[in-house]
């Protein structure tokens, strides 16, 4: 669960986004700009957090009154090996070193649901962490590093599967299905697409992040909608957006069927008026944005 350090919503003096040019970072930037909250958006082009000099450079840019949102990470598509793990840990080490020097008013660390065992079907914030690969172990370690910062209020966000127009990871689900349908008129499923997962629109993730910043929330929160759909249902939702017929192809199953559902009771308790974009509406929004961009 989370605790609001500011029960009444209060805008941060400034938000520093690390990893600001990524998929989630771009959505949070838009949300901050819409609320006219000052921000410092830093990408790897501005500051390579993996380099030894990064700690001093970041410390020079930070203020003790800043809220820091740590998004910067090498994702699994960049590598799942030990060198990638060590780069990610170096990035967090330099971030923590800089914050230890300057202090900050609030830190939001973007983790991942990879810290949970993939075999667990029902997940809440009370589910024990049990990462099964280096990527999950990296995020779990970085969570501990963030929480080790003395005197810094820390919130750990653990998002589930995020979708949206500008996702670059092409992960299995709405993003890949849309691109496959657009390119070849065919969506290929693993098996019959029976597995259920929780898919959250990137705008909902950004809006949830803003709420947490406004209340200086601390603790741990899963970024999920609480509603799971099968991948076949996701494929059908995507196919409906195209005027031409999109073929949904089933393949022989190579792995056992697994399901995952999130209990979002803590999210609702923290933000009773929160609403998430239903999957079909979110898929339709992404399709409209795709057409507008093309």
Q: How confident is the model at residue 85 (pLDDT cuts 50, 70, 90)?
A: very high
Q: 215-263: per-residue pLDDT in tens?
A: 999 999 999 999 999 999 999 999 999 977 899 999 999 889 999 999 9
pLDDT score, position 150: 94
Domains of the chain: residue spans and CATH: 2-162+201-223 (3.40.50.720), 164-197+228-261+278-293 (3.90.25.10)
Lowest-pLDDT range, 96-105, 213-222, 245-254, 263-272?
245-254
Cβ count within 10 A of residue 257: 13
pLDDT at 205: 98
Q: Which of 20-24, 62-66, 178-182 has the highest mean pLDDT?
A: 62-66
In SS3 terms, 116-174 reads as CCCCCCEECCCCCCCCCCHHHHHHHHHHHHHHCCCCCCEEEEEECEEECCCCCCCCCCH
Per-residue pLDDT tens over the stretch 153-199: 999 999 999 999 988 788 899 999 999 999 999 999 999 999 999 99
DSSP summary character for residue 105: S
Q: Which of the two residues, 1 and 174, has the higher pLDDT score?
A: 174
Mean pLDDT of all residues belonging to the chain: 95
């Amino acid at each position: 669960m989370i605790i609001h350090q500011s029960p009444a919503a209060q805008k941060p003096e400034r938000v520093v986004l690390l990893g600001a040019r990524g998929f989630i970072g771009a959505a949070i930037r838009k949300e901050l700009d819409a609320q006219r909250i000052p921000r410092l958006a830093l990408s790897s082009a501005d500051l390579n957090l993996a380099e030894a000099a990064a700690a001093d450079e970041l410390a020079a840019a930070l203020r003790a009154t800043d809220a820091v949102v740590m998004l910067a990470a090498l994702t699994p598509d960049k590598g799942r090996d030990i060198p990638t793990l060590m780069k990610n840990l170096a990035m967090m080490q330099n971030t923590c070193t800089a914050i230890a020097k300057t202090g900050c008013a609030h830190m939001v660390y973007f983790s991942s649901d990879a810290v949970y065992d993939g075999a667990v079907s029902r997940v809440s914030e009370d589910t024990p962490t049990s990462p099964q690969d280096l990527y999950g172990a990296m995020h779990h370690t970085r969570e501990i590093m963030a929480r080790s910062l003395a005197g810094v209020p820390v919130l750990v966000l653990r998002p589930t599967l995020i979708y949206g127009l500008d996702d670059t990871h092409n992960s299995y689900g709405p993003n890949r299905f849309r691109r496959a349908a657009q390119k070849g008129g065919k969506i290929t499923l693993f098996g019959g697409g029976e597995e259920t997962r929780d898919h959250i629109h990137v705008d909902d993730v950004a809006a949830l992040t803003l709420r947490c910043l406004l209340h200086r929330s601390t603790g741990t929160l899963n970024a999920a909608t609480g509603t799971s759909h099968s991948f076949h249902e996701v494929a059908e939702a995507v196919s409906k957006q195209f005027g031409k017929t999109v073929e949904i192809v089933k393949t022989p199953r190579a792995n056992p069927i697994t399901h995952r559902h999130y209990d979002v009771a803590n999210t609702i308790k923290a933000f009773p008026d929160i609403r998430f974009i239903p999957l079909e509406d979110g898929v339709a929004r992404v399709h409209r944005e795709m057409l507008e961009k093309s």
